[in-house]
Amino acid sequence: AQRVTQPEKLLSVFKGAPVELKCNYSYSGSPELFWYVQYSRQRLQLLLRHISRESIKGFTADLNKGETSFHLKKPFAQEEDSAMYYCALFRSGGYNKLIFGAGTRLAVHP
């Protein structure tokens, strides 16, 4: 079955420290993976997608098919990065569906 696992409910770091939010997936086909972010009192929004191989707000994520992972990384965390982060898998075939992980709350302390 298709599944997205985010093992950490909460990740707490200090400003300037490196950040890695973990995401593992199970999917039999070729995965399309995304990271969504929800800042306090704002709506959920797309942060980045693996096919773009882009860096958004200093965040990057590399798809590792061997380890079935799509970890989100940032070398130096900022306080404004504090938010809820969701890893998501696009499941194609038939009707397309976006499957979310349980989410990780990132808290960046001054």
Partner 1 sequence: NAGVTQTPKFQVLKTGQSMTLQCAQDMNHEYMSWYRQDPGMGLRLIHYSVGAGITDQGEVPNGYNVSRSTTEDFPLRLLSAAPSQTSVYFCASSPDRTEAFFGQGTRLTVV
Residues in touch with partner 1 (CB under 8 A):
4, 6, 9, 32, 34, 36, 43-46, 49, 86, 90, 92, 95-103
Residue closer to partner 1 (CB basis): 21 or 101: 101
CB of 109 to partner 1, least distance (A): 22
- Closer by beta carbon to partner 1, 67 or else 95: 95
3-state secondary structure the chain: CCEEECCCCEEEEECCCCEEECCEEECCCCCEEEEEEECCCCCCEEEEEHHHCCCECCEEECCECCCCECCEEECCCCHHHCEEEEEEEEECCCCCEEEECCCEEEEEEC
